[in-house]
Amino acid sequence: MINVKFIMKASMEIMISVLLMATTGHAIAELYIEDGHVRELIPGATSTAAYMTMRNTGSEPLLLKTVTSPAANRITLHNTMNHNGILHMMGMDTLIIPAAGAVILQEGAIHMMLEAPVQALRAGDAVELMLHFDNGTTQTVSLPVRSVLEP
């Protein structure tokens, strides 16, 4: 398992609150992405998915609101539902990563859908995802594209 610590970018408003938090001694919630990867785009397909374990080592839940990327025109948070044996993907408004907890994004469950990719997304490529949280912070993560043949 790979633990990668990501740089936190903050808006001016959040920068101020972070500074206030720092002066009052509160820890900033931390996000670790484990085993993150993007599934290779199958030729002819118009979308693919990103999978990862999102671990929150902070003391506050993290609410992921939107995901953007230079590699795809639209990224949606999806959950997979089973209705009478038929799998449906449903959009999610928010993904909550609980304090001192983790959410696993995997095939057949919660995942990020990369729609209308602007590049081929071949195995070995890297895809940058900007994770926008409702507290105003954005964390950028670079995920490798993995072949569909890999487990």
Q: Is 113 in the site for Cu ion (CB under 5 A)?
A: yes
**Amino acid at site 104:** I
Measured between alpha carbons, how far is 135 from 15 in angstroms, rounded to an integer? Answer: 11
Q: Residue 29 or 75: which CB sits closer to Cu ion? A: 75
Which of these segments, 57-65, 83-91, 130-138, 140-148, binds Cu ion (CB under 5 A)?
83-91
Measured between alpha carbons, how far is 83 from 67 in angstroms, rounded to an integer? Answer: 27
* Closest approach of Cu ion to the CB of residue 115, in Å: 9
Q: Is 89 in the site for Cu ion (CB under 5 A)?
A: yes
Q: Residue 12 or 87: which CB sits closer to Cu ion? A: 87
Measured between alpha carbons, how far is 2 from 74 in angstroms, rounded to an integer? Answer: 27
Which of these segments, 16-24, 30-38, 113-121, 133-141, binds Cu ion (CB under 5 A)?
113-121
Measured between alpha carbons, how far is 5 from 59 in angstroms, rounded to an integer? Answer: 17
Neighbour count for residue 66 (Cβ, 10 Å): 16
Q: Residue 46 or 147: which CB sits closer to Cu ion? A: 46
Q: Which residues bind Cu ion (CB under 5 A)?
A: 78, 89, 113
